[in-house]
Amino acid sequence: MTTGVLNPSHYPARRAATVVQHYLNTRYGSPYRWIFLSTVHSGSAEDVAEMGRKYQLELTMQEMISNVSGRCSAELLFPGGEGQSAPQVQASCEGLHQSNTTAQEEAFYQQHRASNNLASGNDIPDSYGHMEPSVKPFWQLGGVASSFIMLRESNESTLYNMAQVANFTQLETEKDQLRFNYHVLLHEMISQEIIHWKLLVTWSPAQGVQVLQTELQPKCRHCEAPPNTTN
Residues at the contact surface with another protein, assessed by CB under 8 A: 7, 9-11, 14, 18, 36-37, 39, 64, 125-130, 161-164, 185, 187, 189-194, 219, 221-225, 227-228, 230
C-beta closer to another protein: residue 111 or 228: 228
C-beta closer to another protein: residue 102 or 191: 191
Helices (H), the chain: 11-28, 102-113, 136-153
228/128 Cα distance (integer angstroms): 10
CB of 67 to another protein, least distance (A): 12
Cβ-count burial 86-119 (b if 16+ within 10 Å, e if not): bbbbebebeebeebebeebbeebbeebeeeeeee
C-beta closer to another protein: residue 18 or 214: 18
CB of 45 to another protein, least distance (A): 15
C-beta closer to another protein: residue 51 or 190: 190
CB of 189 to another protein, least distance (A): 7
C-beta closer to another protein: residue 39 or 110: 39
CB of 71 to another protein, least distance (A): 16
CB of 34 to another protein, least distance (A): 8
CB of 124 to another protein, least distance (A): 9
C-beta closer to another protein: residue 176 or 193: 193
